[in-house]
Amino acid sequence: MWVAGTLGIFFTTLLRSIAIHIQQSSLSPNWFYTLDLFVRYGYLLWLLVYFFMSNLRIDQTSEKKDLPFDVIQSLVSWITLVALDFVVPGKGIPHDRFRWAVTVANLTIIIIAGLALGWFPDKELRNIRLAGNGCAIVSLVVVWLPFHDVIVLLLVALFELLLLIVLAIYVRRRWPTA
């Protein structure tokens, strides 16, 4: 139930945010702001797809750790939505402090993947969870490198792309087959 509710929040947030951001489009865009926005949407997409797949339970057995895991991953994801400035625009972490928003998003992925590794030892998903954790950790380090903001954001976008590829592999393995 927690995961389904969180998924509903993600869809609502996505639809509302897209409507707001489309109105901000311009023939002379602020490219840094646009890149930052794409990175933020990338993390939103990652969480949305992940929660969709989490809601498709392949095994019908319930473990004691399912409920605490669902509650924890939902709470940290809600915090991330606020930090990425999607829940109430202008009340999250502003675009000139993108490093903090990216940090919160990566910490959320680290918490989710780390708990899944420890609480649900599935040999088929172990390497995928390790890869996701690794990409998030590297991105967390990269975002605080003392480079120009554009370079940092481009590097973060690269690791976010790797996170999305890892997620695609996760989805492929978890997708229910006939």
Q: Indicate the SS3 state at residue 123.
A: helix
Given a cut of 60, is residue 62 above it in pLDDT? no
Q: What is the 3-state secondary structure (H, E, C) of 94-110?
A: CHHHHHHHHHHHHHHHH
The region of weakest confidence among 73-82, 96-105, 138-147, 150-159 is 73-82
Take residue 104 and report the two structure tokens written for it.
Answer: 């919160």
Is the pLDDT confidence value at 151 over 90?
yes
Q: Is the pLDDT of residue 175 over 90?
A: no
Q: Are 111 and 143 in contact (CB under 8 A)?
A: no
Going by C-beta distance under 8 Å and a sequence separation of 6 or more, which residues neighbour residue 21?
Answer: 37
Residue 128: in which H helix or E strand, if any?
helix 123-142
At residue 1, the pLDDT reads 63
Question: pTM of the entire structure?
Answer: 0.88
- CA gap 178, 168 in Å, rounded: 19
Q: Which residues are CB-contacts of 127 (< 8 A; sequence separation ≥ 6)?
A: none
